[in-house]
Amino acid sequence: MRVLIGIGGGIAAYKVCEIVSSLFKAGIEIKVLLTASAEQFITPLTVATLSRHPAYTDRDFWQPIHQRPLHIELGEWADLLLIAPLTANTLGKLAHGLADNLLTNTVLASTCPVLLAPAMNTEMWEQISVQRNWQLLRQDPRYHAAGPGAGLLACDRVGMGRMAEPEEILPYIHSLLHTQGRLDLSGKRILISTGGTREFFDPVRFIGNPATGKMGLALAQAAVHRGGIVTLVHGSLPDISIDRRINLIPVVDSATMHDRMLANFPAADLVIMSAAVADVKPAHYSDRKLPKQQLPNALELSPVPDIIAALSKLRQPHQKIIGFAAQTGDIIPPALEKLERKQLDAIVANPVDIPDRGFGSDRNQAVIIKKSRNLAQPQQYEQIEIQPCAKLEMAHQILDSIY
């Protein structure tokens, strides 16, 4: 896959170095071009070294043509174009189809998706003219937006206009490379659970599991990148910058997750239950820390509500419910039994006894089991194998199988 990165003139240009380096490590071919003002903040040598490819500037653009025009070559080469930071000046040019430098000419000479990462002072961002240009540009389906976010700006102002962090931009790049900008979930409301729950038996001790929430977060990212309206009910979750379009609902225990999922279920078109919810909880809770010598030798347990079974009983004809089954050994039989017993549309069976898979890993593998679309054999099931891959890639393959 080939990503062309256009760097604009702003202090946030330094963040692009991490993006270039991360994409190269992921095996993606990168070319970088800089506007004249971008060279005031970052050098062509820096990004050329990180990308392992010469960087392009306006000096290259205005050189005599020896082969095909540079902006045509670059525009046809790219599978995706990232502009970061997107300045007010470049935004205005793109919104009105103007082209007076290498970056803007390359945009007009390309047809691939364009990911925009705006960055500017809050007063600049909130100007009526800037917002008008932003809304005009966003009407074009080629353009996708990462940020801006709010925070401390280089001008010492705290407010909107901060460029999205690399950890938010990078997943969006991978999503667009998978979908080529397809917004097939536009208007769909998607409810996802993720992370582990903690069932406390005193204020400092609990029954839990190693779930980190990475798989559910990947599903939420993939869905919102495809146009979905996403609510993520989560226990544990990675401490990273997350797309602010994702509605985050934090929970701690299974009872609270049960309540939040049921409250948001009526509005959902699709539910994906990827959370590792506890099966049992301590039967008794002490509101003070128990001294070590008072800890019971055997902990009395009681069952917790079955969230996905409760949702399945309340479902409407238009709603789809997808479950997860984290298993060891032969993962298919227990997943199939769960699919049938809880009347799910599909289930994702994934192994947790293979190194670098499942809990805590950035990678996963799975088998999707779903009801057959063959109306003559409604009780038959299809199996789709997902080979080991990044969790975001697996999330897209899951969504591909559903819609």
Q: In DSSP terms, which residues pair with 206 in a beta bridge? A: 200
Nearest CA to 342 among 391, 290, 288, 273?
273
Inter-helix orientation angle 166-179/391-402, to 10°: 40
Nearest CA to 31 among 101, 132, 106, 90?
106
CA Rg, the chain, in Å? 24
* DSSP 3-state of 250: strand
Q: What's the DSSP call for residue 56?
A: B
State residue 40 phi and psi, 5-degree precision. -75, -15
Name the amino acid, one letter, at 39. Answer: E
Instruction: Considering the candidates 17, 112, 155, 389, report the single residue annotated as catalytic.
Output: 155
17 included as an active-site residue: no
Q: How far apart are CA 307 and CA 261, in angstroms?
A: 8
Q: How far apart are CA 13 and CA 25, in angstroms?
A: 20
Active-site amino acid positions: 155
